[in-house]
């Protein structure tokens, strides 16, 4: 949000690869989900603020903003199509599993390349939490 406000005011921002940032991550699921709900609402709100700025932003930042909003939508549509396939045909939706795995590896791969650290590939272990908790939470955030 602060970056968008700075850009909107006409200032320039830079990516600093060796910058260190810290955040508090709750150690219980309830507070974690409340934090994620706040962050999801903020992402959607900030995207609306940044729409006019996208053309003037760095190419990677523009892709990141688009990905943060389209990624969950594509994932939700993929999961919904897979659930429908199971319900209507009683067959395992292998293409759904492959799509989710592909989206996961792309996101983790981009983070690993951007941070220049292979440990970000382990973020793929977060996928079940994303599918079963955060995806519905993001839908709720968008609606509220």
> What is the model's pLDDT at position 30?
94
pTM score: 0.70
Nearest to 68 by CA among 50, 86, 84, 88: 50
pLDDT at 53 over 80: no
Q: State the DSSP code for 27.
A: S
Render pLDDT for 66-77 as a digit per residue (tens, 0 to 9).
777 787 888 888
Three-state SS annotation for 36-65: HHHHHHHHHHHHHHHHHHHHHCCHHHHHHH
Residue ranges of domains in the chain: 1-16+29-143
Q: Mean pLDDT across the chain, nearest whole number?
A: 85
């Amino acid at each position: 949000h602060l970056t968008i406000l700075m850009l909107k005011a006409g200032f320039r921002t830079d990516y600093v690869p060796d910058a260190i940032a810290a955040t508090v991550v709750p150690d219980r699921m309830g507070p974690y989900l409340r934090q994620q709900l706040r962050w999801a609402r903020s992402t959607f709100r900030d995207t609306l603020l940044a729409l006019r700025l996208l053309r003037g932003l760095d190419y990677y930042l523009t892709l990141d903003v688009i990905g943060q909003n389209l990624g969950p939508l594509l994932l939700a549509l993929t999961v919904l199509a897979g659930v429908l396939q199971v319900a209507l045909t009683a067959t395992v939706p292998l293409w759904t599993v492959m799509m989710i795995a592909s989206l996961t590896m792309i996101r983790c791969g981009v983070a690993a390349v951007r941070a220049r650290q292979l440990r970000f590939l382990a973020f793929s272990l977060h996928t079940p939490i994303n599918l079963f908790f955060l995806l519905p939470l993001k839908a709720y955030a968008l609606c509220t």
